[in-house]
Amino acid sequence: MIDSHTHLSLCEEPDDQLVREAREAGVTRILTVGTDERSSREALAAAAIYPDVYAAVGRHPNSASGFDARSLDELGELARDERCRAIGETGLDFYRDHASAEDQRRAFSAQIELAREVGKALVIHTRSADEETLEILRREGDGVTVLLHCFSMADRLDECLERGYTISFAGNVTYKSAADLQAAAARAPQDSLLVETDAPYLTPVPNRGKPNRPALVADTLVFLADLRGETPEELSAAVERNAARVLGWQ
């Protein structure tokens, strides 16, 4: 079992506790994700300590203000660390106005090119910007391995699959209000799926309302397996294979 997207540095508990609890729950690999240069360095620091933790480095769209050539140079340095397995999370978020659309687009495009340059997966965040996010990926992302974190584009599932994107489901797929998302998860091909926590956010049922943590990826995986008519062991093995392929870890 793996957690393909978490934020260790944003969780209240210390990393030692989070990683230990995850191991006890059967989680063998964790990708902890940066949202700016500081948190990306923190992600790499955690990955240097724990052999089952890897890092993604990037500039989140909500943190894209002022993104410039110097920002890209710093991310480029971090991206070449052997414990870095992905670039991002990056993309577009027009739900909040923490960064201008212009800054978000500039940071997004730069990170697409960085992912291509270093040969690592690109982790996508999109909110209230699906059409433009997919258009930019279509126009600029040729040859880049794309991972759609916290997949939310249920109505665009077929398009995403046709493009060869990997789809990662978070704890919100377990919510009663997520019927469209559940329908997408039920019919997505097994070899296109990943599972994540996005901790400390999006805690899955039955722990919704509490802070999320990597160990709780087990709840989402069990829910998805039942939804798809698979055993947790079968789905876990498939997700592990997919993560190894997409993120290049062993």
Say what the pLDDT of residue 6 is.
98
Say what the pLDDT of residue 250 is.
73
- Number of domains into which the chain is organized: 1
Say what the pLDDT of residue 30 is.
98
pLDDT digits (tens, 9 = 90+) for 172-214: 999 999 999 999 999 999 999 999 999 999 999 999 999 999 9
Say what the pLDDT of residue 77 is.
98
**What does the alpha-carbon distance between residue 164 and residue 133 come to, in Å, rounded to a whole number?**
15
Buried b (16+ CB within 10 A) or exposed e, 136-156: bbeeebeebbbbbbbbbbbeb
pLDDT digits (tens, 9 = 90+) for 41-70: 999 999 999 999 999 999 999 999 999 999
Say what the pLDDT of residue 97 is.
84
Share of the chain above pLDDT 90, in %: 99
Q: Helix-strand-coil percent breakdown of the chain, rounded to 5?
A: 50, 15, 35
Whether 242 and 194 have beta carbons less than 8 Å apart is answered as: yes
pLDDT digits (tens, 9 = 90+) for 71-107: 999 999 999 999 999 999 999 999 988 999 999 999 9
Please state the pTM of the whole predicted model: 0.97
Q: Return the CATH number at 6.
A: 3.20.20.140
Say what the pLDDT of residue 25 is.
97
The domain in which residue 136 lies consists of: 2-247
Say what the pLDDT of residue 116 is.
98
Whether 63 and 36 have beta carbons less than 8 Å apart is answered as: yes
**What does the alpha-carbon distance between residue 182 and residue 197 come to, in Å, rounded to a whole number?**
16
